[in-house]
Structure 1
């Protein structure tokens, strides 16, 4: 799930110039994305200061940054808490995600056979990982492989603006998606759809293929929202 987090360099010359606020934001974002901090949970400044051994200034800076990212909300006299998305927000984000993934699938399908075959092989491995996770009834393992499956299309597309936008959408949606994949039947159906997407990618341009990779990707994301609503 590393692609969901802002990049922090291991180069000490760059780390030296990284603000404490950015480091605190990174830590809090990691806790939100791991589920250690859940929607509605209050983020108490004194507790964060004590835990991270920093002053209040970088903590406030980090919380403001997370608020601008749409991941926490500040309310007068109620403090700051992890944001809970409304049903409409979840639906809107899924629709946007479907649009981006469909576009990525469409563009990649137009590329050469070698590039498509290489991506298909990578996706096959991830489908295998998800099959293993299903057999082990390991929702967390499945979730991480699922994230990597979808990110592979965005990464191979190579458009930095789309990468940034997709990352923001995934950060906001991750708890809803993880909840969706807690259901074993949903995981099985999801991975069956993944395999159809890979087959369509591998056979892109073949007239006999009933549905394009782009159409299957978009339908898969929309179907994920349907499954979430069933929970």
Structure 2
């Protein structure tokens, strides 16, 4: 009887997935804090040594980052940090506006438990504004918008939304001086969205979501 290769042990696969996520999150954190600037080369071997792992999870993490548009791999040259162009960012926000408007309509009816989660996100935004904590604001804002998309039950739209790399893109947008949002007004808009979803009015909630996002589509870069 011919021997066959055994499948990888489940615990090994889980461990590799965890390491991949750890590396991906570390690279994202370094992009956000400026440790990795555009053009920085990411060396697989160096990252593997830093995280005391093989190159396999490093390679997987870099593939995920490339799918998010955060790095680019050049044949025979390596993998480098990239920064989205102004046009690419506007296009991403335009697509996000369409997705979130549609998802708000599809989310109706929203259960009491899910409304409570959305309200918790808004409460987190309120607290972040009070503390002037941009990191927490970005985190709760991202959680709120992703939750609305997820509540639609449309896995394809959620996958597309995730693929736009909002963990970095939205934080970079908030860091851009000419795009600093009017935080108090933005928080009120989030609360109004929750109120309309609670009332079963997905149409209005969707229109507000779209209007909330569209300023980022139209905002040009400041002239130098």
TM-score, normalising length from structure 2?
A: 0.76
Deviations 1:92-123 (A, max 9, x none): 111111111111111124x3xxx355444332
- In the alignment, what sits opposite 2:138? 143
Deviations 1:58-113 (A, max 9, x none): 5345434543453311235653112211122111111111111111111124x3xx
**1:25 lines up with 2:2 in the alignment:** no
CA apart distance, 1:217: 0.9
Q: CA RMSD in A?
A: 3.2
- In the alignment, what sits opposite 2:190? 194
- Equivalent residue for 2:211, pick from 213, 219, 223: 219
Question: CA 1:130–1:60 in structure 2 vs 1: closer, same or farther (change >3 Å)?
Answer: closer
CA apart distance, 1:148: 1.3
- SS at 2:73's partner residue? strand
Question: CA 1:213–1:225 in structure 2 vs 1: closer, same or farther (change >3 Å)?
Answer: same
- In the alignment, what sits opposite 2:116? 121
- Equivalent residue for 1:181, pick from 174, 192, 201: 174
Map residues 80-159 of structure 1 onto 2, 5 A cutoff.
80-109=79-108, 111=109, 115=110, 117-159=112-154
- In the alignment, what sits opposite 2:78? 79
Gaps in structure 1 of 5+ consecutive residues: 1-12
- In the alignment, what sits opposite 2:5? none
**1:16 lines up with 2:15 in the alignment:** no
CA distance in 1, matches of 2:57, 2:181: 44
Kindly indicate whether the alpha-carbon contact (under 8 Å) linking 2:104 and 2:206 is maintained by their aligned counterparts in 1: yes
CA apart distance, 1:23: 4.8
CA distance in 1, matches of 2:147, 2:64: 27
- SS at 2:194's partner residue? helix
Kindly indicate whether the alpha-carbon contact (under 8 Å) linking 2:142 and 2:167 is maintained by their aligned counterparts in 1: no
Question: CA 1:38–1:95 in structure 2 vs 1: closer, same or farther (change >3 Å)?
Answer: farther
TM-score, normalising length from structure 1?
A: 0.74
CA distance in 1, matches of 2:90, 2:56: 36
Question: CA 1:226–1:197 in structure 2 vs 1: closer, same or farther (change >3 Å)?
Answer: farther
